[in-house]
Amino acid sequence: MGSVAAGILTGKVGNLTSAVALEVTLMGLLSKTERKRRAYETGIRELCRLILLALDKAGVLGIINVADGADVTGSNAPQAHEGTHVSGGSDDIDSVLASIAIALTTRGDMVYQGASGLTRRAKGNLNDVLTMGANDPAWAAPAGGGAAVTLSNTEVFNGALAVNNAWEDLDLSGVVGSNVALVLLGIVDLTGTIRFGVRTNGDTDDYEFGGLEAAGCANAYFSAATNYSALLVTTDATGKIEMNSTDASDTHVIDVISYIA
């Protein structure tokens, strides 16, 4: 360390060999170096400021000296760059962002690419499904697979039929609607031994009067009073079926247990 300090100070104040003298000398040298560094830093900063100011005056850097919060549209310099982001510009983002922001007005809205750009598709109704047309999507009611079983347990007939072994209409539209429906009927015969059948209104299927076999329609055999049976039948487009009994004088109670329409 002593030889280093001595070499630095040769020809100035002589050779210093004591530890205190060396420490003082090195501290002075470091302080002088720091002053030079700060002076250079200040000079470079000022030089950069002058260069940027000159470029600003020459119109090369138009954004210099725009205050925070200042209007950067209209006659201010950034308008030239803004033009690249508007519709039709080289970096068009303005029209895209604007159309998205404006189009979506309701929770559930969707955006899709229409013939002339991004387009709003308003939310559909409850349980609607999104379908695809020739070009654009649209909401629609389910075309199929959306049927549900409705539990009813509603009495639709209580009494005797008009004629033995003759089919007569039974209108279920007040329960299942004026449409085709698959209906589960609960039937009770309050009197005695009979065969009872149901079928779609207008059908020609019948049951075998002479035996217990089913022959094309839904039918049940009651061996005693108050026997119960369940039959499945389809209504016609108006919600009607037909019924038949081997003993029309018996009292029959018919309920719609459930249906699928």
Over residues 163-195, the pLDDT tens digits come to: 888 889 999 999 999 999 999 999 998 887 788
Which of 29-38, 171-180, 224-233: highest mean pLDDT? 171-180
Over residues 102-131, the pLDDT tens digits come to: 567 788 888 888 888 778 888 999 888 899
pTM exceeding the 0.85 threshold for the entire prediction: no
Per-residue buried b or exposed e for 63-79, using 16+ beta carbons within 10 Å of the residue's own CB: eeeeeeeeeeeeeeeee
